[in-house]
Chain A
Amino acid sequence: MRVALFLTCVNDTLYPDTGRAVVKLLTRLGVEVDFPMAQTCCGQAHYNTGYRHQAEPLARHFSDVFGSDAYDAIVTPSGSCGAMVRELYPRMGERARAEGRGDGLARTLAPVVPKTYELTEFLVDVLGVTDVGAYYPHKVTYHPTCHGLRSLGLGERPTRLLRAVKGLELVELPGAEECCGFGGTFAVKNSDVSAAMGTDKVRHAESTGADVLCAADNSCLMHISGTAARLRTAVRPVHIAEILASTEEEPLS
C-alpha cells in the first residue's frame, strides 16, 4: 500500500516530530509513505475565518498535489485538516455550483475527498490494526478534539489504539468532549474566552494525575501546550502519532 502523507502546514513548520513519527509508524506497519513536496495548506484557516474564495485555490492545489492515482490513500495526523478535506471540500463544490459557477470545483475536489483519512482512522479502518506494536510507559489522558470527535466521528479509534500500547496507562479526562478553546483564529479574536477554555482543559488534565495529555491534532495541542506552560503544570501535551511510533527499541524521548 502506498499512501501520501498530508502533514499539514502547521505540523510541517512547527511540529516536524509528528511527521517523522507518522513516517516511522506507517513504515513499521509495511506502508509505503510518500511526502509530496508541493503540498502546502488545506485552506481551513481561510475558510473558517470567512475567506472562502481565498480557500478555493488552496483546495484546488491540494487536489493537484494529492489527486494522483499512484496513492491508495491520503493520510493526515490532524482531525481538523482531515475534516476540512472530507466535510468542507464537498461543501465548497456545492456552493460554487449554487453560485452559478458550474460543477468544475466539485469535480476537481471529488477524487481526494473519499481517499483522505485521519491517521487513527486509517490505522483502524484501512489497515485493520489496533495494536501497532508501540511501547510508551506513561500515564496518559486523551483529549478528543472537536473536529475529530464531531466532524470525522473518530469515536473509540484513538483510545483503542492507546489501550493496546504496551506500558501505557490510559486515564479518563473529565469534560473530555469540551472544546479546548483553540478554534483557529478564535484564539486571537476571542482571546479571553479562549484562554478561559484552555485553562479549564489544562486543569482537567492535571486532575487526572496523567503526565501526558494526548490528542490527534497539533493545532489544539499548540494552544493547550502554550496554556500549560504558562500555568506551569506538569502535564505534557504529546501528539498521538508520537506515542504510537514509540517502541522499546526506539522510545520517544
Chain B
Amino acid sequence: MSGGTFVGMPAFPEAAHEAVGNTTLRANLRHATHTIRDKRARAVAELDDWAELRAAGRRVKDHTLRHLDRYLVQLEESVVRAGGTVHWAADADEANRIVTDLVKATGESEVVKVKSMATQEIGLNEALEAEGIHAYETDLAELIVQLGRDRPSHILVPAIHRNRGEIRDIFAKEMAGWGRPAPEGLTDTPAELAEAARLHLREKFLRAKVGISGANFMVAETGTLVVVESEGNGRMCLTLPETLISVVGIEKLVPTWRDLEVFLQTLPRSSTAERMNPYTSMWTGTTDSDTADGPSTFHLVLLDNGRTDTLADEVGRQALRCIRCSACLNVCPVYERAGGHAYGSVYPGPIGAILSPQLRGTQSEIDASLPYASSLCGACYEVCPVAIDIPEVLVHLRERVVQGGEATRHGTKVMLKPAKGHAAERAAMRAAGLVFARPGALRAGQRLASRTRRLHPRTLPGPGRAWSATRELPKVPAEPFRDWWQRTQGARSKGKGNDA
C-alpha cells in the first residue's frame, strides 16, 4: 500500500480478488466483524424503542437536509458569535488550501489530528506534507495505518485488516522514524501495544500547538461541535493545542442540541455496541480565559466536496443521513470477504458503495464498479440506525452506470453517458427483454435448450466463465414446465395467452 490516496484504483472485482485469496486477511476480518455484529445486536436489543429511535434519526436528518441552507447559515452565525471563524470549501482542493494556509499562519510545522473521515476524504495529510507540515494521527488505529504507510479499511476501525502480530512489527519498525521509538522487546499483548502508542503520542500532544479534527455532529442553534470516541486521544487534540481547525462535511449538521439525544443513543450502540461511548467531547467557539481548557483560536472548515450534488438526487440523497457508525460494514457479507481496501475509498462497505460514486461521480473504473459490489441481500438496510435503504440506492446508481442519465455535478445538471464496458450486457438485457416480451419466443428457446441438453458445455464462455469456474451449471431438464402443463393440464387452463 502506498500513501493514503485511492487514485487509479482498479474496479472492485479485481481489487477484491486479492483479498478473497488472502486467508490471514479473511480470518482477521471475519473474526472482527462477527464479534462486533453480535455485540451490536445485543446492545440494540436492550432498547425497547429502537425502531422509534431509528425513525427519529431518519426524520431529524431528512428535515435538516431539506433545510440545509438555512441551518448552515444559522450554524455560521452561532460559531462566529462564539468567537470562531467559518470557512466554506467547495471541494477537496479548496479545503486543503484553507487548512494549509491556516497552519502556515501559525508558524507551526507540526499538527496533531483526531481521526477524521473528512480530512482523509480530501487527502489533507498529503497536502500538508507537500507544504512541509507533518500531520500526526493520534487515534490508535489511524496511527497503525499511518506508521504502516497503509490505507484505512474500515470507518470505525481503520486497521481492522491487521492482527496484533502485524501491529507489533509496524510499531517496532516504524515508530522511531516518527518520534519516540517503541520500547525494546515489545510483545503483541494489547496492553503493551497500547502503552507503546501512549508514550509515543504523549510527546506529540504536549508539543503540538495546532490540532485538526473532524466532528460527528454540529449543532446549528449553539454552534457546538461534537466528537464521539473511545480512547480520549481526540479530547487531547481538542483541548491541548492553541489553535483548533475542524474540517466537517456540511451534512453533519443537526438543528438543535436536543436532536443529539437520538444520535448519542444510536451511534455508540450501532458502531461499538456500547450503551455510551467513553468520551463525548463538545466544544463551542473559543475560550477567552488563560486557565480554561481548549483552543484560543478556532476555525471551522465546512466541506461540500460533492455533497450538494448528492443532495440534488432524489433517490441518492438519503446517503447523506449517514452518521458513520459502520454497522453496515460489520454485517455485510461482501465487505467481510473483500475487505475495505477493495472499495477504493475512505468510505468502504455498503455505505461507501453508495456514497463514493455520488461524491466523486461514476466516471472512474472503481466508482462505476462500486454499485455492483453487493448481492442486494439487504442486511445493511436492516442495521442502519438512520434507515438508509442502501439496496435501493445501489440499484439507482447501477441505472446511472449502465444507462447514463441526468445527474448534478458541481452544481450543474449534466447528462451522463453510460459507463464503458456495458455494451455486451446491455445487448443481452435487450435480447432477454425481447424474448420475455413474447411467450412464444421464450417457449421456442426453452425447447431448443431442452433438445440440445446433452450437448451443453460444462463451462461457459465470456462473462459466464466466472460462474462455471467455481460452480457446476444446472442441467437443463428434458421438458420445461410449460410444456408439461400443456401436455397434462392444458385443457383446464383458462389463462390468457394459452395458445402461445
Contacts and interface: CB of A to CB of B under 8 A. Distances in A.
Interface of A: 4, 7, 9, 11-17, 19-20, 23, 34-41, 43, 45-54, 57-58, 61, 64-65, 68, 70, 91, 98, 146-147, 150-151, 177-179, 181-198, 222-223, 225-227, 229-230
Given A12-B482, A13-B449, A53-B403, A36 B498 contact: yes
A151 B378 contact: yes
Given A20-B484, A65-B497, A193-B338, 4 more contacts: A36-B493, A146-B379, A183-B377, A184-B376
A13 to B, nearest CB: 5
Interface string B462-500: 011011011111101101111011100100111111111
Contact of A50 (B402, B477, B489): B402
23 contacts: A19-B485, A35-B482, A37-B439, A37-B497, A37-B500, A38-B498, A40-B435, A40-B439, A46-B433, A50-B398, A50-B399, A51-B426, A54-B430, A61-B437, A146-B375, A150-B379, A184-B375, A185-B372, A189-B463, A190-B372, A190-B375, A194-B375, A222-B474
A19 B439 CA distance: 17
Nearest to A229: B472
Interface stretch (B10-18, B73-81, B138-146, B193-201): B10-18
Interface in B341-380: 371-379
A170 B393 CA distance: 37
Contacts of A229: 471-472
A153 to B, nearest CB: 11
Size range of the chain B interface in the assembly: 35 or more
B375 A186 contact: yes
B470 A230 contact: yes
B436 interface: yes
Interface of B, secondary structure class, is helix
Interface in B389-435: 392, 395, 397-403, 425-426, 429-430, 432-433, 435
B21 to A, nearest CB: 8
A36 B481 contact: no
Q: Chain A binding site: helix, strand, loop or mixed by DSSP?
A: helix
Interface in B241-273: none
A146 to B, nearest CB: 4
B467 A191 contact: yes
Nearest to B314: A98
Given A48-B376, A50-B399, A230-B471, A39 B489 contact: no
B378 A146 contact: yes
A68 to B, nearest CB: 7
B446 interface: yes
Contacts of B467: 187-188, 191, 226
Interface of B: 12-13, 16-17, 20-21, 26, 314, 333-334, 337-338, 371-379, 381-382, 392, 395, 397-403, 425-426, 429-430, 432-433, 435-439, 442, 446, 449, 463-464, 466-467, 469-474, 476-477, 479-482, 484-486, 489, 492-500
B471 A227 contact: yes
Contact of A192 (B20, B471, B484, B496): B20
B375 A197 contact: yes
